[in-house]
Structures are given as C-alpha cells and as structure tokens.
Amino acid sequence: MIDIAFLGTGGNMPLPHRFLSSLLISYKGRKILIDCGEGTQVSMRMLKWGFKSIDLILITHEHGDHILGLPGLLSTIGNSGREEPVTIIGPAGIKKIIEGLLLSIKYSPFDIQIVEVGEQTLALDFTEEGVSIREGMENDDFCDLIISTLELDHSVACLGYSLYVPRKPKFSVDKANANGVPKEIWKKLQNGKSIVYEGVYYEPGMVLEGKRRGIKISYITDTRPDDRIPSFIENSDLFICEGTYGHDEDMEKARRNKHMTFSEAAGLACRARVGELILTHFSPSLEEPGLYIENARKIFENSMVAYDRLVKSINYNER
C-alpha cells in the first residue's frame, strides 16, 4: 500500500485555504516529500503522519513556492528526534540555494545530504543509516524505489520525477525444490541476494519466477507541455500534474509564465495512457479549481483536482 497526501496545492502565493506546493508519499513506514512550499509542516501536523520518518526530499526547482518551507520543516524533523541522515535531491544549482536557506538552522541532530542530478535513473534503498543511492535501471526488482528525472521547460532548471516502486518476482517453492535449494537460504535468495552455501553457489533465479509490475507515480510541475513528457510518464498508475490555469482562455498566461492549463495536462495524460490524473499547483486567481474540471475530463475522463490534505492510496492488489 502506498499513501499519497497533497500537503499544498497552490502556486505562487499561499491562500487561507491552500498552502504551497508539497506532496508526501508514505510507503512501508518511510516517507518521501516532493517540494516543500510554505505551509507544508502545518498540513503534516493536521494529517498526523509524523515528521521523524521523512527520509528523502525531492525538489523540482528553486522557486520559493516550492522550497521556502524547508528550513522550518527540517528544524521540526530534528525536534522530532530524528538522528539518521535526510537526503535532498534536486536539479543543478539547488545545493547552494538550500545551503543558504539552512543558515537559519544553527544546529541539526542529523546530517543533510544534498544531491544534484540531471536526467538520470537512480535506484534507492532505505537503510538504517539513511538513503542509499546508486545508478539504477527500471527492471531492478530488488531495490526499494527507482526514481527517474526529466528536465522540464520552465524559467529555471526544473525536474519532473517518476517514482517506480518495484515488486519482487514471485517465490516458487516448486522451482526451489527442483533446483535443490536448501530451505535455510530461501529468504536471502528471495530478497535478490546470491549466496555460496556449503560450497555451492545459488542465485535468485533458482527460486524466483516471472516479473510482477510495480507501481508508477509521476509528478510534473512547473512546465509547458513537452513532447518528451508522455513517454516519461507512460503507463503511470497516477499522474500528478500542474494545472495552474483552469481555462484555455488563460493560454497566453500559461505560455508566458511557463505553466499549463487543465486541458494541456489532460492531453499529456491521454497520450501517455496513465491510470488517473490529479491536477495541482493552482494559480491564486483559481479559487475554485473544481469548477473547471470538465476542461480536463473532456480530454481525459479519469481526471480530478487536488485539494490540501487529499489522501490517495494505491494498492498492489487493485492492479
């Protein structure tokens, strides 16, 4: 089960009923935060999901409505008793900006690791010492998370993120017995580890069979539509996309400010054959985004607008 909470769904400036961009993903007791606009920790407090288990923070870009909540949040994480490192990933140039923001934090009980990335794929494992990152492939079934990044079309360096939660191949008792694998090492092989046991070499393929599709979540903001986006988000179970402007009458604003309308986001969802589209990052002038949802649904039926503290769950068994 993966739980996704929209902590803030606004762009540019916070409103009384809407905080700025932030998304929280909870999986197996670990948490991943995407962006951290003003109001993020207030929403987290209201959700009661806790702060201590945030291991990873993904930043799309340097604009204030996506990062100005970081100093306060990191201070709160420290006050919650965390001692393990927190990893922050973002585009080129983000390290200097975050280090500047962190000057307001005089002391932190945990290390903060800042990693700048371009377009690449990373395999991540959540360990007791924090997040372990290595170059990864999407068919790596034995890591905790695979993150792919895409450079977007915004006014500054900006990344789109695709998160893939792998599902391990099915364990086959019949295959294990047929290959003469001792029961004592079944668990290690099931976890993807080869082993030499009593002088004999065994590998995971001797007890595992078939591939099982994992869960894919894609997050795209702030950007104009790009022909590379559909292949990047293709077959996502959930596509979270900016919908700064609800009506195509604002198309000129969208082009000028490097953002999207509801219909443009829906067009990407349709081309990419995603399971569901949830729109977020609304302009302050868009006080009631739900009034414009038909502009998306006429192109991609399974569309909805987010609101602060909306929680969405995805279960393997529902696939």
Show which residues are catalytic.
65
Amino acid (1-letter code) at residue 118 = G
Long-range contacts of 192-195 (CB under 8 A, 24+ apart): 192/141, 192/142, 192/168
Please state, in angstroms and rounded to a whole number, the distance separating the CA atoms of residues 111 and 109: 7
Look at residues 57, 126, 52, 124 and name the one whose alpha carbon lies nearest to residue 87: 57
The per-type count for the chain, helices as H runs and strands as E runs, is 10, 19
- Runs of H (alpha helix) within the chain: 40-47, 64-67, 70-79, 94-101, 173-178, 186-190, 229-233, 251-257, 262-272, 294-297
Helix orientation angle between 70-79 and 94-101, rounded to the nearest 10 degrees:
60
Give the integer Cα–Cα distance in Å for 163 and 123. 10
First-to-last CA distance in the chain?
A: 11
How far is 187 from 184, CA to CA, in rounded Å? Answer: 8
